[in-house]
Amino acid sequence: MSIIDLSPVPLTRDNFSGFGDVLEVNDAERILINEGTTERFHALAKLDVADRQGVGVLSIFRATARPRPIKIAMMERHPLGSQAFFPLANNRWLIVVSAAETPAPDNLKAFRARGDQGVQYAKNIWHHPLLIIEPSQDFLVVDRAGPGDNLEEIRFDDGAYARLFLPKS
Amino acid sequence: MSIIDLSPVPLTRDNFSGFGDVLEVNDAERILINEGTTERFHALAKLDVADRQGVGVLSIFRATARPRPIKIAMMERHPLGSQAFFPLANNRWLIVVSAAETPAPDNLKAFRARGDQGVQYAKNIWHHPLLIIEPSQDFLVVDRAGPGDNLEEIRFDDGAYARLFLPKS
């Protein structure tokens, strides 16, 4: 059984580019609207949910913290659509993804997101379910509803896992 | 020139049902996921953005407060798609809509939303651009991008307007 230690790196558009979109105002296209009272940081991500008559849906996920150290022993992906998460309270949170066809502890990447950063996982990107640092945190989630099986899960072989070390505050 | 005074009422699914969806956890379908660590309040709204090859896009709107009393002198609507707003800071905010074909000060309805409530305006519903109470507030916005003109605006005749009275805290 292999145990790997993972340290999250700060999330940026550059280091997340292979996995989807980072939703944040920094460096976004900015349009002044509503008689100058509102800045629109435009089209930070496009939804990709139309496969097989899918539609986009808005949900709220209420996450609770896992025991520490956080053990990453499985991953999931959505073969039919993108999935976006944005925190509704400005607390840091954690992201674990894999670019491998078969995720395993030694091919994971971990990111720490600020509380004003969301992400949209591209279709079919392996990621871990929600990981938070505070005891509880709500997220607005934009993903796909429709026909077909849109969830694949994989549990690592032989009880292998990665230990996720939390960022210092 | 007519001037009407408007007092916002608390936003509920019932009183907003003719205008779109209220995005909140209360009374929502609740699914326990992610090994019991996350509650999913599922499909609070479905996007309606597919007309004329439209796609959903995620943006951030940074609103600033208007001078008080807030004057409602115009309205807008999006004939090709729904538009959802969710506050990213837990501060109350304001909503003004009209069910009339031609909005005017005497056919407006005003709502006050909690900071943990979002809305999705249905396609073609007349509404006022973002109205906030705090000096500045960010919102995640989910609406349509694509071909065609998706914005209609109307300015009330003869300088008429409604005055929006803010809720007491």
Tell whether the model's pLDDT for residue B90 goes beyond 70: yes
Q: Does B81 touch chain A (CB under 8 A)?
A: no
Q: Is B71 exposed, middle or buried (0-12, 13-18, 19+ CB in 10 A)?
A: middle
Given pLDDT bands bounded at 50, 70 and 90, which one contains residue B1? low
**Nearest one of B105, B116, B23, B76 to A38, comparing CA atoms:** B76
Percent of chain B with pLDDT over 90: 92
Tokens coding B121: 């305006």
Predicted confidence at residue B166, as pLDDT, reads 84
Interchain proximity A58–B84, CB inside 8 Å = yes
Best mutation target, B51, B60, B71, B72, to test chain A (most A CBs within 10 A): B60
Domain A3-164 has CATH 3.30.930.10: no
Å between B88 CA and nearest CA of chain A:
5
Q: How much is the average pLDDT of B102-108?
A: 97
User: What is the average pLDDT score of chain B?
Assistant: 96
d(CA B25, CA A141): 13
| Strand segments (E) across chain B | 3-6, 9-10, 20-23, 30-33, 38-46, 55-64, 70-72, 74-77, 83-87, 93-98, 108-113, 118-121, 126-127, 131-132, 136-145, 152-155, 161-164
Q: Does B90 touch chain A (CB under 8 A)?
A: yes
Å between A65 CA and nearest CA of chain B:
7
Angle at A126 between CA A155 and CA A26, to 5 degrees: 140
The yes/no answer to whether this complex scores an ipTM above 0.90 is: yes
User: What is the pTM for the complete model shown?
Assistant: 0.96
Best mutation target, A23, A24, A37, to test chain B (most B CBs within 10 A): A37
Q: Does B40 touch chain A (CB under 8 A)?
A: yes
From chain B, the residues in CB contact with A129 under 8 A are 33-35, 37-38
From chain B, the residues in CB contact with A49 under 8 A are 56
Percent of chain A with pLDDT over 90: 91
Q: Does B69 touch chain A (CB under 8 A)?
A: no
Q: Does B71 touch chain A (CB under 8 A)?
A: no
Predicted confidence at residue A84, as pLDDT, reads 98
Q: Domain boundaries in chain A?
A: 3-164
Predicted confidence at residue A153, as pLDDT, reads 97
Predicted confidence at residue B169, as pLDDT, reads 58
d(CA B169, CA B156): 30
Predicted confidence at residue A169, as pLDDT, reads 58
Q: Which residues of A58-97 are buried (b: 16+ CB within 10 A; e: fewer)?
A: bbbbbbeebeeebebeebbbbebbbbbbbbbbeebbbbbb
d(CA A67, CA A48): 33
From chain B, the residues in CB contact with A56 under 8 A are 46-47, 49, 56, 142
d(CA A101, CA A125): 9
d(CA A143, CA A56): 5
Strand partners, B57: A46, B143
Q: Which residue among B46, B59, B90 places its CB closest to the CB of A42?
A: B59
Tell whether the model's pLDDT for residue A77 goes beyond 80: yes
- Tell me the DSSP string of A103-154: --GGGEEEEEE-TT-EEEEPTT-EE-S-EESSSEEEEEEEEEESSS---EEE
How many whole angstroms from its chain centre is CA B6? 16
Cβ neighbours, 10 Å, residue B148:
12
Given pLDDT bands bounded at 50, 70 and 90, which one contains residue A1? low
Cα-Cα-Cα-Cα torsion A154, A86, B34, B25, nearest 10 degrees, comes to -150
d(CA B51, CA B148): 10
Q: Which residue among A39, A42, A58 places its CB closest to the CB of B120?
A: A58
Å between B128 CA and nearest CA of chain A:
9
From chain A, the residues in CB contact with B57 under 8 A are 42-47
Residue A10, SS3 per DSSP: strand
**Nearest one of B35, B52, B156, B146 to B96, comparing CA atoms:** B156
Query: pLDDT higher for A27 or A60?
Result: A60
Q: Does B31 touch chain A (CB under 8 A)?
A: no
Give residue-wise pLDDT tens across range A116-137. 999 999 999 999 999 999 999 9
Predicted confidence at residue A2, as pLDDT, reads 83
Give residue-wise pLDDT tens across range B52-78. 999 999 999 999 999 999 999 999 999
Predicted confidence at residue B161, as pLDDT, reads 97
d(CA A46, CA B56): 6
- Tell me the DSSP string of A48-72: ---GGG-EEEEEEEEEEPPPSSEEE
Q: Does B29 touch chain A (CB under 8 A)?
A: no
Tell whether the model's pLDDT for residue B82 goes beyond 80: yes
Interchain proximity A37–B142, CB inside 8 Å = no
